[in-house]
Amino acid sequence: MSSPFQYGGQAVIEGVMMRGPDTRAVAVRRPDQTIVVDEKTVGSLTRRFPVLKAPLVRGVVVLIEALVLGIEALTFSASQATGEEEELTPWEIIITVGIALAMAVLLFAFLPVAAAHLLNSVAPGAFIQNLIEGLFRIAIFLAYVVAIGRMADIRRVFQYHGAEHKVINAFEAGDRLEVERVQRYSTLHPRCGTSFLLIVLVISILIFSFLGEQVLWWRILSRVLLLPVVAGISYELVKISSKYYSLPLCRVLIAPGMWLQKLTTGPPDDGQVEVALAAFGAVAKESEK
């Protein structure tokens, strides 16, 4: 018997995107206060090619699909929230994803490696260098989250992030999906992408420590080449910790990620929860057909 589908999503500009088994729905609050919902069929590659469901491999596939869907959802939400209709072409999506990946490589591969390399004379040794590099990487991530969290528009996105979690928590608890009921639930969730990113940062320290001494250019390149491995392992850990979240050990392991979510989520108002419910209702309706 197959396990029930685990719904997920992300916050967008003035809205929420939810992902179902075969569809995704983006619900956005427009300037006239109406809610518009955009639904799209998005069959996963893991269904078309079962070999991609293999542990470690599936995490990489899910990550890439989430990145593409996320950019599409953000584009749609931006156009609806501002009242300016716009849709990205496939090539524009590819270019946008490419730019996002390039920025990620710069921030989380090049800069941490370069910073650790500069400290090599006072902190030599492969293990110490990898530890310093990893701590720099985590510091950059935390600084980025805190910095953008000070922006008013991003704080609203974080509130929609909290609304998304509340709806999924209420659904998984078997409660009625009504605004008043949903508001009783937590804005934190063990399968959150924020927790996943923190696990990626920690796991990368462990994996890169096995590589030993490296010249600077190969050290940077190896971080990029091993990213799928790190992402695959991290994805499996998130799935395991979420499945056995009731166990004390799993709660301890995932506690840092849950704490970090307090920076990337906020308490939503009833209107924001209403938007999240609209997105979830659209994908849940399709999965029940």
Partner residues linked to 9 by β-bridges = 18
User: In this structure, what is the dihedral angle of CA atoms 131, 137, 143, 146, given to the nearest 10 degrees?
Assistant: -100
Q: How far is it, in rounded angstroms, from Cα 101 to Cα 213?
A: 26
Determine the 3-state secondary structure of 145 from DSSP.
helix
Q: How far is it, in rounded angstroms, from Cα 236 to Cα 234?
A: 5
Per-residue confidence (pLDDT) for residue 85, from 0 to 100: 64
Q: Are 12 and 26 in contact (CB under 8 A)?
A: yes
Per-residue confidence (pLDDT) for residue 88, from 0 to 100: 66
Pairs from 146-152 (Cβ < 8 Å, separation ≥ 24): 146/263, 149/263, 149/264
List the domain boundaries for the chain. Answer: 8-287
96: its two tokens:
């946008």
- The pTM (predicted TM-score) of the whole model is 0.88
Q: In the chain, where does DSSP find H-type helix? A: 45-48, 57-82, 90-105, 111-118, 126-148, 152-172, 179-182, 193-208, 216-225, 227-243, 248-264, 270-287
Tell me the helices (H) and strands (E) count for the chain, helix number first.
12, 4
Q: Are 264 and 158 in contact (CB under 8 A)?
A: yes
Q: How far is it, in rounded angstroms, from Cα 86 to Cα 76?
A: 7
Determine the 3-state secondary structure of 38 from DSSP.
strand
The pLDDT averaged over each successive group of 10 residues in the chain (289 residues) is 75 94 92 93 79 85 86 88 70 79 87 88 81 93 94 95 98 95 96 90 90 84 90 90 83 89 96 98 76
251: its two tokens:
């709660």
Per-residue confidence (pLDDT) for residue 151, from 0 to 100: 94
Q: How far is it, in rounded angstroms, from Cα 273 to Cα 165?
A: 10
Per-residue confidence (pLDDT) for residue 1, from 0 to 100: 42
Beta-carbon contacts of residue 178 (< 8 Å; ≥ 6 apart): none
Rounded to the nearest 10 degrees, what angle do helices 111-118 and 126-148 cross at? 130
